[in-house]
Each structure stands twice: as C-alpha cells, then as structure tokens.
A and B are shown apart, each in its own frame.
Chain A
Amino acid sequence: DTGVSQNPRHKITKRGQNVTFRCDPISEHNRLYWYRQTLGQGPEFLTYFQNEAQLEKSRLLSDRFSAERPKGSFSTLEIQRTEQGDSAMYLCASSPTGHGYTFGSGTRLTVV
C-alpha cells in the first residue's frame, strides 16, 4: 500500500462548473477525513467518514458540497456550481483509529 492517494493533483475550472475529487485511503483505515486549506492558512475540517457512514460535517460544507464513501473504501468530494472562493487545496487523510493520520498530497483547485 502506497499511502493515501488523491486525484487529480490539480484542477482548473470555470466558475459555475461542477468538480469531483477522489481520495483512496490506506486500505485498512476505516476513518477518512476531508480538509480544505486556503493560502497562508492551516487546513480546516470539512467532513469525516467511518467506513461508509458520514458522521460529521463542518459548517464550512455548504449545500454545494457533497461527499460520499459508498463502499467504505475510496471517497469522492463534489463541489457544484463552483465559486472563486472555493479555490483551495483539498486534503484527504485516513486513520485506523482516529489518532494516527496519513495525509494525501491534496488536490489544488483553482476556479477562474
């Protein structure tokens, strides 16, 4: 297992378009987290899955954002009707216990 994989690494999209990111966690990790990081800031929690169940969502996650983890393995994060303020690095992390985390390299989204 090569760690947490995120695709794509970079995404440039026009305002108003929908985008989808994918995260493949470490296979035996049952917990998966999405974070967003804007320039010069630390990452901020978006949402968390334990297996296929989405257990918590941040207030940062507006109605335009949706995340799924259909089989408790990979997860997708979709942003509908993108806005320029959505431009950020989207980070995924997985954990077997909620204490030790492994992060992916992130997907950098630019909305033009």
Chain B
Amino acid sequence: KNEVEQSPQNLTAQEGEFITINCSYSVGISALHWLQQHPGGGIVSLFMLSSGKKKHGRLIATINIQEKHSSLHITASHPRDSAVYICAVRWGGSGGGADGLTFGKGTHLIIQP
C-alpha cells in the first residue's frame, strides 16, 4: 500500500523557534504538496514540489526525491502559525486515488507566545 508518513504528530514550541516537520513516502511521486489546515477545516495550499526547494516568506519546503523525503520549515515561528500541517502526494504511477492526493495524518503545531 502506498503510504505517506509525517512526523511529529504533535509539536509545541515557543514563539521564535525554528520549526521542522517531516514527510516520508513509500514510492515514486509526481508531486508533493504541503497544506495548512486551521480549526474549522479549510485547507490552504502552501507549496507544491517535485524537486529541490521552495521558499515563501518564513516558510521553506525541501524535497529529496532519492530519499523519498520532504521537510517543511518555519523560521521565526509565531502563534498565528498554529495549525495542522499536512503533507500530500500525487503518486507517479496509479496508486491511491490515481489522479487525487494521498495525505499524511498531519502535524498539529502549537506556537506559544
């Protein structure tokens, strides 16, 4: 079964800390997404990656295709960053919902003032 694993499941940090969330997947992908979900359910797409690194403001996403691993980093974290961060992949073959995404369980991040 094609799987997406995230770690940690829960993370509490102090304002200003550097945050890293990890995502590993089992087989080849065509794209990896990092998503943010706030209480109430709405999902916002942060990044879509197929290689290398992307940066947007205080958020950085990296992917290592050979190691089947991606990380999401938050610099100078702030309480408004508190949310669930979800990694999702679109498989390279026909696994999972072939044209849809397979999601990790999410990392629940709390940034305390």
Residues of chain A whose beta carbon lies under 8 Å from any beta carbon of chain B: 31, 33, 35, 37, 40-48, 50, 55-56, 58, 89, 91, 93, 98-106, 108
Contact = CB atoms under 8 A, between A and B. Distances in A.
Contact of A48 (B41, B44, B99): B99
Nearest to A99: B31
Given A99-B90, A105-B40, A44 B103 contact: yes
Contact of B103 (A43, A58, A99, A104): A43
Interface size class of B (residues with CB under 8 A): 20 to 34
Contacts, number: 71
Contact of B100 (A45, A89, A104): A45
B20 to A, nearest CB: 19
8 contacts: A33-B100, A33-B101, A35-B100, A37-B41, A43-B43, A56-B97, A91-B43, A103-B42
Contacts of B105: 40-42
Contacts of A37: 41
Nearest to A50: B99
B48 A100 contact: yes
B64 interface: no
Interface in B94-113: 96-106
Interface string B74-104: 0000000000001010100000111111111
Nearest to A57: B97
A42 B86 contact: yes
Contact of B101 (A47, A101, A104): A101
Nearest to A60: B97
